[in-house]
Amino acid sequence: MAEIIQEDKAKGGKKKPKKHSTNIDMTPMVDLMCLLITFFMLTTAFSKPKIMQIVLPEKMTKNTIPPKIVGSRTMNIILGPDNKVYWYPGKPAVDMASAPALQQTDFSDTGIRQMLLDRNKALFNKIADFKNKVITGEIVMKDDSVQANIKKIKKLDDTGPIVLIKPSKTSTYKNFVDIIDEMSIVGIGTYSIADISWVEEQMLATATGTAVH
Amino acid sequence: MPKIKVKHQSPHVDMTPMVDLFSLLLTFFMLTATFRPDEPVPVDTPNSVSEKKTPDNNIMTITIAPDNRIFYNVDNGQDTILHYRPKILQEMGTRYNIEFTPEELRKFEKGNYTLGVSMQDMKAFLNCKDASERMTYEKGIPADSTDNQLAMWVLYTRQVNQNVQTLIKGDSKVEYPTVKKVLGVLQDYNVKVFNLITNLEKVEVTQKAD
């Protein structure tokens, strides 16, 4: 742009009275267009944000029978304060006396992800093998059916853990998104978001050392 | 030996091709521009590995600000003839016994506001002259059991536009009870599938767990 402006000045120096030139000075027009383009480029929302889909079950009424789940495969994950995660295996605890101790971990690669990965080996490998076959061209199918197939593998699986996610009152939205994200990274077949029970709140209070006796 | 002639160059550059190119670019940007709806609060969304893109139309966005205020926005539908926004506002008006003038409905349709306004303040909000005046009314949409206006917005949006998809845009720092409140409202009105707006963050699980 600087060059053009200079030329403009040079031209302004020699005034030729009444000699029609076919050239029209387009510099102001170019200037204006530059400005407009810059404006539109900056205001346009280029990169669209991504979305993560989750499905919640229908709200429980008194008449609905809660789905039966196998206690041995169940994994309870409690989202605690300060980006900490607590977990215990087995059926959801019903009273303090029989409540297992909470294991504390965090959202790092070696934290909750490793824990879930260890328990979800079989399914994770199955999905990874399938994806590899698609990449190498051993199986040829469309993108949609790849996703559908992965879903089917997850559904048919009966080895991986069933994860119950229980965010406590002190957890944040980030923790909530992170843990659902972990589910898709590790390839957990069945997970659900549940309300934290009173017993679990007490367990969390004991684990964090904020229990009031 | 021939003389080397120094060509006398005119300082004038032909700018026509440049102008051509610029007009093309300008037209392209003007036509593809989708303006960001103005946000009353900056929201820092968490990261995830999801690569699904946000849909363009038929979306209802519920924004949760770091200070736990809840905002709501809806798009006007795929075609301009659909006029979803004024229709929804009119339904809301009937629910809360507020009559909106055609002028106010038009303002609501044109201004792609992210609403944090209670219905009682809506008339005053629409008649505001500038953004800073509007900000004073953005106190967040009430979503308590006594006055659950968010639920009404969700209900009427889904009545007017059956294909609407629900998007939740929450700030990373929002406390879970607020999120639960919003999810509870959606669950009450049978919204089972919804989308959380996130930033893309690639994660590679390299180690194969055997």
pLDDT above 60 for A1:
no
Task: Classify residue A196 as exposed, middle or buried by CB count within 10 Å of its CB (0-12, 13-18, 19+).
Answer: buried
pLDDT, residue A17, reads: 61
Question: What one-character DSSP code corresponds to residue B175?
Answer: B
Which chain B residue shows the shortest CA-CA distance from A13? B11
User: What are chain A's domains?
Assistant: 70-117+161-213 (3.30.420), 121-159 (no CATH)
B16 and A175 in contact by Cβ < 8 A? Answer: no
Chain A: give the shortest CA distance to residue B119, in Å: 27
pLDDT above 80 for A176:
yes
A167 and B180 in contact by Cβ < 8 A? Answer: yes
A128 and B208 in contact by Cβ < 8 A? Answer: yes
Within 8 A by CB and 6+ apart from B26, the residues are A33, A36, A37, A40
Task: Give the pLDDT confidence of A6-29 residue by residue, as tens digits.
Answer: 444 444 555 556 667 677 777 888
Task: Give the pLDDT confidence of A28-87 residue by residue, as tens digits.
Answer: 888 888 898 888 888 776 667 788 888 877 776 666 676 677 777 888 888 888 888 888
| Count of pairs with CB atoms under 8 A, one residue in A, one in B | 174
pLDDT, residue B210, reads: 44
Residues of A in contact with B187 (CB under 8 A): 56, 58-59
A40 and B30 in contact by Cβ < 8 A? Answer: yes
Chain A: give the shortest CA distance to residue B38, in Å: 11
A50 and B16 in contact by Cβ < 8 A? Answer: no
B194 and A54 in contact by Cβ < 8 A? Answer: yes
pLDDT, residue A16, reads: 55
A33 and B26 in contact by Cβ < 8 A? Answer: yes
Q: Tokens in use for B111?
A: 């201004």
Within 8 A by CB and 6+ apart from A195, the residues are A166
The verdict on A55 touching B (C-beta cutoff 8 Å) is yes
The verdict on B58 touching A (C-beta cutoff 8 Å) is no
Task: Classify residue A153 as exposed, middle or buried by CB count within 10 Å of its CB (0-12, 13-18, 19+).
Answer: middle
Task: Give the pLDDT confidence of A118-169 residue by residue, as tens digits.
Answer: 888 878 888 888 888 888 888 777 777 888 888 888 777 777 788 888 898 8
pTM: 0.75
